């Protein structure tokens, strides 16, 4: 995985270099050519409520170990928080924290002074920040603009950003080496000594002591400042006396490469799914309209059957040679979340592009189910809708469950029993609450039987009168009992379904026989022709059950009961003859 990320950085021209990284700044302290403070400028798309500011492609960066080593507080260069740059802090900060912030502020100013000989003008910024009267004005203006102490701030001199200049780069490379913690340092013992085999490239290297941070996971449990991908914090995770990142040796250059690559992938090719984030890429660039992962996410947003039609078309193009660029293409996918400042890799997948398209097509094909109104298949559900089919609220989803179900869709694996059980519970809640059936839930139950039990329980999009399992026909019978009661009595509030569905789906022998016997009272209220028709349909279902009426049903069998109930209802609603008879009966 690390090697592929390094290759991604090379293929996409990211040109990673230790000590440099893309960084965001939300505000700029604007000055004139003489270093006089003018204004606080908002950066980025100020119309966007989630505006993160402006990205500077090659900004200076210090590692965690470089910031923490030494006897004095240290800060970043040219881009830092408002609290460091202008001492813009909360009013309730403790004196100890304020003293630490002042130390970082002083270090920030010294760096500006030291770099002035290669980039004249920085010393004027330093003088401005040392002037208490001017910094007080800056802080007042920051308060007016609602700048947070943690917001990143940079400078603009006459409309130009010093951080975008190349003049400071060589000075910065030399300055970093004076701080220690780079691959060029050789210390007595520890991670900086000798050469080790790099996990990412296989070359003999001096490993970095601490990993660089991966950004973009703050919305799935990560830290706003970033999370480490290769890191250790327990003695049990170390061996042979090695410390910190030397336990999984990666060179400073390779660390910068995989960090920049994963940050780029998270920015360009990632999708948040409940508590996890899917990050993926292809060996050869794939246009958005040909992206199978995007189809999984959007599914039925376009025309009916779009997902399946897209998959069939793409596979035909691959196999007939009209898309040779996709024939040898490969995909790579990570499922990630953050945990205590660390990147949690919940899953890693790779494979051929045509295999991915085939599996996405199979996913939608297995999920497709008749519309609750009957007459046609429901639109293919988005992946997020399938996740939501299992829970009351998306916030109830655990990242590990998201990762598992995503793998099922991408790798065409069996559906976890946990997913079936959770979806079944929500189906029961919908039915008991007289809510419209959820297509994704019913499709997931169908897919479970197709993938997990295969030929033992053949399931189709529509009603299967020849299904071999009596549980399925018990569900059908329950649907007929509900229809009969509605035709005979109209809307009676808590009807036979609300009162008996839960017990009938668990212990059908105890409940269904009694319901069929009492159905005679409902038949007597119908006109003879309609009553005869109902008797015939109910008898047909009883003929499928025969003497196999189960005493109890397992959860798998209860899901068959639910499918039989749903598909029988959908078929009845699709039958215009039934609708006409029921309308005539209700008069």
498-522 pLDDT, tens digit each? 888 999 999 999 998 888 888 888 8
How distant, in Å, are the alpha carbons of 13, 111, 385, 387 from that of 443? Answer: 43, 61, 11, 12
**Tens digits of per-residue pLDDT, 422-463?**
999 999 999 888 889 999 999 999 999 999 876 555 788 999
> What is the radius of gyration, based on Cα positions, of the chain?
32
Q: What do you get for the CA distance between the two ends of the chain, in Å?
A: 68
C-alpha span between 39 and 144 (Å, rounded): 11
C-alpha span between 351 and 282 (Å, rounded): 10
Average pLDDT over residues 28-43: 94
Verify that 418 and 276 share a domain, yes or no: yes
Six-digit token pair at 396?
Answer: 């109830």
Verify that 554 and 487 share a domain, yes or no: yes
C-alpha span between 390 and 396 (Å, rounded): 9
Verify that 41 and 92 share a domain, yes or no: yes
Six-digit token pair at 77?
Answer: 């260069």
76: in domain: yes
Verify that 174 and 233 share a domain, yes or no: no
287: in domain: yes
**Which of 151, 179, 207 delimits the end of a domain?**
179
135: in domain: yes
pTM of the model: 0.80
Measured on CA atoms in the order 437, 439, 441, 443, is the torsion positive or negative?
positive
Verify that 384 and 473 share a domain, yes or no: no
Verify that 209 and 282 share a domain, yes or no: no
Verify that 141 and 245 share a domain, yes or no: no
Verify that 567 and 523 share a domain, yes or no: yes
450: in domain: no
535: in domain: yes
Residue 388 sits in which domain range? 269-429
% of the chain with per-residue pLDDT over 90: 52
Verify that 40 and 161 share a domain, yes or no: yes
Average pLDDT over residues 38-55: 92
446: in domain: no
C-alpha span between 241 and 457 (Å, rounded): 57
**Tens digits of per-residue pLDDT, 134-182?**
999 999 999 999 999 999 999 999 999 999 999 999 999 999 888 865 5
184: in domain: no
Strands 342-352, 54-60: pairing kind = unpaired
Verify that 53 and 100 share a domain, yes or no: yes
C-alpha span between 488 and 495 (Å, rounded): 12
Average pLDDT over residues 392-413: 92
**Which of 179, 199, 225 delimits the end of a domain?**
179
7: in domain: no
415 neighbors 448 (Cβ within 8 angstroms): yes
How distant, in Å, are the alpha carbons of 173, 414, 556 from that of 418? Answer: 53, 11, 11
Six-digit token pair at 23?
Answer: 């960084």
Average pLDDT over residues 365-370: 92
C-alpha span between 209 and 185 (Å, rounded): 10
422 neighbors 390 (Cβ within 8 angstroms): yes
Closest CA to 277 of 292, 297, 251: 297
Six-digit token pair at 416?
Answer: 């976890």
The domain total for the chain is: 4
**Which of 262, 284, 315 delimits the end of a domain?**
262
Verify that 371 and 311 share a domain, yes or no: yes
Verify that 121 and 206 share a domain, yes or no: no
- 3-state SS of 92-118 is CCCHHHHHHHHHHHHHHHHHHHHCCCC
């Amino acid at each position: 995985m690390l090697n592929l990320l390094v290759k991604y950085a090379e293929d996409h021209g990211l040109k990673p270099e230790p000590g440099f990284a893309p960084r965001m700044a939300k505000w700029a302290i604007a000055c004139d050519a003489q270093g006089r403070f003018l204004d606080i400028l908002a950066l980025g798309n100020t119309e966007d409520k989630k505006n993160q500011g402006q990205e500077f492609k090659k900004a200076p960066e210090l590692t965690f170990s470089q910031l923490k080593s030494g006897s004095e507080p240290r800060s970043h260069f040219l881009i830092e928080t408002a609290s460091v740059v202008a001492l813009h802090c909360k009013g309730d900060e403790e004196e100890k924290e304020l003293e630490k912030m002042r130390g970082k502020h002083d270090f920030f100013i010294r760096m500006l002074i030291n770099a002035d000989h290669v980039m004249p003008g920085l010393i004027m910024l330093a003088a401005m920040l040392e002037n208490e009267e001017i910094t007080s004005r800056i802080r007042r203006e920051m308060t007016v603009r609602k700048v947070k102490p943690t917001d990143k701030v940079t400078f603009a001199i006459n409309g130009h950003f010093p951080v975008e200049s190349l003049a400071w780069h060589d000075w910065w490379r030399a300055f970093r080496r004076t701080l220690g913690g780079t691959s060029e340092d050789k210390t007595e013992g520890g991670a900086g000594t000798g050469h080790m085999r790099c996990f990412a490239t296989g070359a003999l290297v001096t490993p970095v002591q601490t990993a660089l941070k991966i950004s973009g996971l703050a919305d799935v449990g990560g830290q706003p400042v970033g999370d480490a991908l290769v890191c250790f914090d327990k003695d049990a995770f170390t061996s042979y006396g090695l410390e910190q990142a030397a336990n999984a040796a990666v060179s400073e250059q390779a660390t910068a490469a995989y960090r920049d690559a994963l940050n780029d992938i998270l920015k360009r090719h990632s999708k948040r799914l409940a508590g996890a984030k899917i990050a993926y890429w292809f060996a050869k660039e794939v246009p958005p309209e040909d992206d199978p992962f995007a189809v999984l996410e959007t599914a039925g947003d376009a025309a009916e059957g779009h997902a399946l039609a897209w998959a069939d078309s793409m596979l035909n193009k691959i196999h007939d040679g009209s898309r040779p660029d996709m024939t040898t293409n490969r995909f790579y996918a990570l499922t990630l979340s953050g945990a205590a400042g660390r990147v949690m890799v919940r899953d890693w997948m790779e494979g051929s592009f045509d295999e991915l398209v085939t599996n996405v097509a199979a996913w939608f094909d297995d999920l497709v189910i008749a519309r609750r109104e009957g007459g046609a298949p429901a639109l293919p559900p988005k992946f997020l809708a399938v996740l939501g089919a299992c829970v009351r609220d998306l916030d109830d989803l655990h990242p590990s469950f998201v990762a598992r179900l995503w793998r099922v869709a991408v790798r065409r694996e069996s559906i976890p029993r946990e997913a079936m059980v959770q979806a079944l519970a929500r189906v029961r809640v919908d039915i008991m609450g007289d809510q419209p059936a959820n297509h994704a839930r019913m499709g997931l139950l169908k897919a479970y039987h197709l993938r997990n039990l295969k030929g033992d329980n053949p399931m189709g999009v529509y009603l299967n009168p020849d299904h071999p399992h009596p549980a399925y026909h018990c569900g059908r019978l329950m649907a007929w009992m509900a229809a009969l009661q509605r035709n005979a009595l109209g809307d009676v509030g808590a009807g036979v379904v609300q009162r008996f569905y839960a017990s009938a789906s668990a212990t059908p022998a105890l409940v269904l026989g009694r319901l069929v016997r009492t159905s005679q009272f409902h038949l007597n209220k119908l006109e003879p022709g309609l009553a005869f028709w109902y008797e015939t349909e109910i008898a047909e279902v009883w003929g499928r059950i025969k003497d196999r009426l189960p005493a109890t049903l397992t959860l798998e069998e209860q899901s068959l009961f639910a499918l039989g109930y749903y598909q029988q209802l959908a078929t009845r609603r699709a039958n215009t003859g039934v609708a006409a008879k029921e309308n005539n009966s209700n008069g």
